Structure 1
Amino acid sequence: MQTNNKPVESLALSDSVLEALAVTKRGVDELLIEAEFAQKLARSEKTGKPLRIKLGLDPTAPDLHLGHTVVLNKMRQLQNLGHNVIFLIGDFTSMIGDPSGRNATRPPLTKEQIEENAKTYFAQASLVLDPSRTEIRYNSEWCDPLGARGMIQLAAKYTVARMLERDDFTKRFKAGTPISVHEFLYPLMQGYDSVALQSDLELGGTDQKFNLLVGRELQKDYGQEPQCILTMPLLEGLDGVEKMSKSKGNYVGITEPGNTMFAKLMSISDTMMWRYYELLSFRSIAEIAQFKKDVEGGRNPRDIKVLFAQEIVTRFHSQKAAEDALADFNNRAKGGIPDDIPEISLSGAPVGIGQLLKQANLCASSSEALRMVEQGGVRIDGETVSDKALKVDAGTFVLQVGKRKFARVTLA
């Protein structure tokens, strides 16, 4: 079936294809080319042959957060439509290092680091995807056999000028920042993955658009029907500004305790809540639209945020964990103490408050602890500490830093 650039409205599509297209487009940044993908969906419906939908992830870190699940959620939606999803672990490309969005050469990972990180990747992704309907592949399967001759032949299919169309390469070139030749191989190898897997659709974040387009072009060179590409927005972190990132501390890890996840999600702004609903919730578009009307009509947005936080905790833990998290959150809001705080035994009484908070792992350093005292963010058994010179005597008490950090300390 030949694809073309006709507008979708001009195509004769069944109601089920139009519905599948609407599900696909929910929350996306771009779907290229929409008419081509609509025709792929129509062909799939006619022939009964599922589409091959690819997502590649380099195992650069062992833990996933909600930002990663934006694209995984889309994969699950497509999986629910009956299509085959391929979870591609970039064990080969990780050794190159993805230069996307970077202003310096990214250090490649060692084989040992890649293997260690890959162990937990699929287990965590399976909290979103249906593992029984997910094909797991490693791109070393076809990249290793290429060898030097194959690499040269592949590199001949793309020019330096086309590589420099990529925004981050262009900026680095103009700034005189070094670009290693091996970095040009990354988009080529990612594109070759699409050839090897004969993918119909590839997903990625907005920062991956160039790489996804390379795959599309390489498929044409290899005589394949070009894949469509779907880019998902990069989810802002809890601060509502920066992209969610563990290094920035604005993340919600999908393996974090339910109480922690719930409290973090309740901290997002009322405005950002709708962004999280759109990209992370499995509720229908109509239901979310009704929530917005309810808030406009006077309903407390906190109620809607609670429903969202419970949905996420239920997904990654259980319904009971979500209910317990809500009870714990309400208890804290009233000044109560959570049920699951760590128990710590220390010695050396009396101990200065700054050193005590550091030893209890509530602050990274004594100086940070003293800053928290200055800001009124430290409590002992519910009483605010204002004296930075305070020496704490032996005993058992509850330390609190900020709204979410607690520890029951026995000091001898």
Structure 2
Amino acid sequence: MEILKTGAAEIVPEDELKEKIKNSLLSNKPLTVKLGLDPTAPDIHLGHTVPLQKMRQFQDLGHQAVIIIGDFTGRIGDPTGKSETRKALTEEEVLRNAETYKEQIFKILDPAKTRIEFNATWLSKLSFEEVIKLASNCTVARMLERDDFAKRYQEERPMSIHEFFYPLMQGYDSVALQSDVELGGTDQKFNLLMGRTLQKDYGQLPQVALTTPILEGLDGVHKMSKSLGNYIGVYESPREMFGKTMSLPDELMIRYFELVTKVPVDEIRRLEKGLADGSVHPRDLKMRLGWEIVRIYHGDSEADQAKDEFIKMFQKKEAPDEMPEYSLAELGASKDGTIELVTLMVNAALAPSRGEARRLVEQGGVKLNDEKLSDSQAAIRLSDGDILKVGKRKFIRIRS
């Protein structure tokens, strides 16, 4: 219980989880622990991995992990937290994204102890009569308890009837699996509790809902999000992962250890105590955090290399040994190596747009051979072996 409670936002109800674990130990029968994923995007970031890390803890304690790929529910779209009707995905989009999800989740979960189920297996077979019976288990008033539905209703925003079926379908997944525990972020609490309601109505013992926190991004304020640029993607390079971790506010280090690493709880408590009494330096602890995150997705040797490169780049102020190389021709430079600085940055993928490139230059984030470039309108002359640095972690080497 101590392990499972660490990093959990809420367990509803906690005493039932304790009883389920007790019965599991006495009967030597593992609990069925469910996590639903709607593959609405092809890749995930650390914020998405928080419930996966909790599921891995259940696996390590001997329980059965079941990942539900929402190939049916994904075609409808989860309305949670949405201010308008969510665009449904095609079956092809759902299945394509599901394959990449499966690759990514096994960076955390043990494949040998994980069942993958697609909820179209049972949801697509429900007759219309069975769907009506399912809908009869929940009132409109109960649905409007959800903040997102209530807000849209009050603001007279469009809200389709089919969206009411999403929590019902997610709840029916729990019925189909006879799940003992369901995991999800705090924003999924309504859907998780719907599973308890439906299981009771179908004569089953209700599952326990265990919610996990929404992970703050690298800015330390907002939810981790690609749109806000405050994320660490699980497909990013070891160097990028480690460097981004080192930019994390100190006060979030222990929270990240708890939510996105595999470090044992008792060791995290020792690190937390050391940080508080001054026996552990915050910089060293953050390096350990970066190493732990990188090792999950790239392995120990890549984590070692990312750490060494960070020390070399930021403590010893040296450029990394390996970096992307571009020829003058690839960059679009003239024969004598002259090129507009903003054009160079865009062509070398160091900035997504000319406007962003100009902003980076004007903020002092661009250096050529360790010399700061401050004129965003300038043209520069490049030579073989020149190194251009943008921000703290992006380098390219010029070849003639």
C-alpha distance in structure 1 between counterparts of 2:4 and 2:355, whole Å = 50
Displacement, 1:347? 2.8
| Partner amino acid, structure 2, of 1:218 | L
Question: 2:132 maps to what in 1?
Answer: 152
Contact 1:209 1:231 in 2 (8 A): yes
The superposition leaves residues 193-216 of structure 1 with CA deviations (integer Å, 9 ceiling, x where unpaired) of 000000000000000000001110
Please give the TM-score of this superposition, normalised by the length of structure 2. Answer: 0.95
C-alpha distance in structure 1 between counterparts of 2:166 and 2:92, whole Å = 20
Of residues 257, 276, 284 in structure 2, which corresponds to 1:277? Answer: 257
Displacement, 1:90? 0.4
Question: 2:326 maps to what in 1?
Answer: 344
Of residues 289, 292, 296 in structure 2, which corresponds to 1:315? Answer: 296
Question: 1:383 maps to what in 2?
Answer: 371
C-alpha distance in structure 1 between counterparts of 2:66 and 2:49, whole Å = 15
C-alpha distance in structure 1 between counterparts of 2:203 and 2:277, whole Å = 56
Question: 2:94 maps to what in 1?
Answer: 114
C-alpha distance in structure 1 between counterparts of 2:376 and 2:125, whole Å = 64
Question: 1:140 maps to what in 2?
Answer: 120
**Structure 1 stretch displaced more, 283-292 or 362-371:** 283-292
Aligned pairs, number: 391
Of residues 147, 151, 169 in structure 2, which corresponds to 1:167? Answer: 147
Contact 1:53 1:200 in 2 (8 A): yes
C-alpha distance in structure 2 between counterparts of 1:305 and 1:271, whole Å = 11
Displacement, 1:387? 2.4
C-alpha distance in structure 2 between counterparts of 1:244 and 1:393, whole Å = 39
| Aligned partner of residue 311 in structure 1, secondary structure | helix
Question: 1:409 maps to what in 2?
Answer: 398
C-alpha distance in structure 2 between counterparts of 1:289 and 1:226, whole Å = 33
Question: 2:188 maps to what in 1?
Answer: 208
Identity between Structure 1 and Structure 2 (%): 51
C-alpha distance in structure 2 between counterparts of 1:185 and 1:404, whole Å = 46
C-alpha distance in structure 2 between counterparts of 1:339 and 1:251, whole Å = 26
Displacement, 1:394? 4.6
Question: 1:259 maps to what in 2?
Answer: 239
Displacement, 1:228? 0.7
C-alpha distance in structure 2 between counterparts of 1:405 and 1:85, whole Å = 39
Question: 1:74 maps to what in 2?
Answer: 54
C-alpha distance in structure 2 between counterparts of 1:139 and 1:112, whole Å = 15
| Aligned partner of residue 387 in structure 2, secondary structure | strand
Please give the TM-score of this superposition, normalised by the length of structure 1. Answer: 0.92
Displacement, 1:388? 2.6
Question: 1:328 maps to what in 2?
Answer: 309
Structure 2 unmatched ranges of 5 or more: none
Of residues 172, 187, 195 in structure 2, which corresponds to 1:192? Answer: 172
The superposition leaves residues 202-234 of structure 1 with CA deviations (integer Å, 9 ceiling, x where unpaired) of 000000000001110000110001111100001
| Partner amino acid, structure 2, of 1:403 | K
Contact 1:328 1:338 in 2 (8 A): yes
| Aligned partner of residue 396 in structure 2, secondary structure | strand
Contact 1:398 1:407 in 2 (8 A): yes
Question: 1:176 maps to what in 2?
Answer: 156
Of residues 211, 217, 228 in structure 2, which corresponds to 1:248? Answer: 228
Question: 1:64 maps to what in 2?
Answer: 44
C-alpha distance in structure 1 between counterparts of 2:146 and 2:264, whole Å = 36
Displacement, 1:166? 0.9
Contact 1:335 1:382 in 2 (8 A): no
| Aligned partner of residue 224 in structure 1, secondary structure | coil
| Partner amino acid, structure 1, of 2:39 | P
| Aligned partner of residue 133 in structure 2, secondary structure | helix
The superposition leaves residues 217-263 of structure 1 with CA deviations (integer Å, 9 ceiling, x where unpaired) of 00011000111110000101111111112222211111211111111
Contact 1:360 1:409 in 2 (8 A): no
Contact 2:47 2:215 in 1 (8 A): yes
Displacement, 1:288? 2.3
C-alpha distance in structure 2 between counterparts of 1:278 and 1:188, whole Å = 32
C-alpha distance in structure 2 between counterparts of 1:292 and 1:351, whole Å = 51
The RMSD of aligned alpha carbons is 1.4
Question: 1:12 maps to what in 2?
Answer: none
Question: 2:349 maps to what in 1?
Answer: 361
Structure 1 unmatched ranges of 5 or more: 1-20
